[in-house]
A and B are shown apart, each in its own frame.
Chain A
Amino acid sequence: MISGVTELRVAAEIDCRGLLCPLPILRTRKALEGLSSGELLRMIATDPGSVPDMAAFSRMTGHTVEQRDEQDGEFIFLVRKA
């Protein structure tokens, strides 16, 4: 957890480690369907392509990537449902 940042309440979490394009996007989309507007989803991926793709997903759909971290080759996205 990042110090100094209020802990964000995550409504759901999905693990897309080891999956290649377009699975992280498809799983993210599916997981967001189960959430209410304003809720947060945490998605973890290892595909480096998920970084530009999640940015494009965010621009196209309006679901915002609030945070993106990289730790040991893993990309962690916090997505807020529009």
Chain B
Amino acid sequence: MGRDGTPDKRKRLALIASRGTLDWAYPPYLLASTAAALGMEVGVFFTFYGLPLLLRELDPKLSAHGNPALPLKVPFGPEALRDVAWPVPNVISANLPGFDSMATSMMKKTFEQQGVATIHELRQACIDSGVRLIACQMTMGLFGFDPADFIDEAEPGGAATFLEFAADADISLFV
């Protein structure tokens, strides 16, 4: 609070979301929703592979091959086996058809069992708290997305739109 009792200028968080896999969908939506809950002003620029996180049909997948250190836990079966983080050799994650969808559903199940928020829940929290969700116009054209495929809250914009917001940010992160 200022000395005259008026609130200080709100802290501002500017994020760039550049990756669209399930694991990388978490940092921007989790930080943005929490920052908004803390009273911060938040803007996220969704660009390149991060852009699909603004699609109406939100369904990010895990890429096991892209994350060689990924610990995969089996979300069912005896307790002793569940606790083991199974190492996945790249030769399997890269070549076994359907491996990524299996890894995705295992990860989602583990998240659910552990009480981790779903990506949908965090995105909705961002929408409800007025987080600016800037959809990279250039990426839309580049990958041939239809603007109608994005949620209504997605605000089309470019680098300048984001940078104008980020110029006054207290925290800026590229995730």
- Enumerate chain A interface residues (CB-CB to B < 8 A): 18-23, 25-26, 28-30, 47, 56-57, 60-62
Contacts and interface: CB of A to CB of B under 8 A. Distances in A.
Nearest to A45: B115
Contacts, number: 40
Interface residue SS majority, chain A: helix
A22 B39 contact: no
B104 interface: no
B175 to A, nearest CB: 15
B63 interface: no
A22 B30 contact: yes
B28 to A, nearest CB: 13
A25 B39 contact: no
Interface string B1-13: 1000000000100
B34 A25 contact: yes
Contacts of B33: 22, 26
A55 B171 CA distance: 20
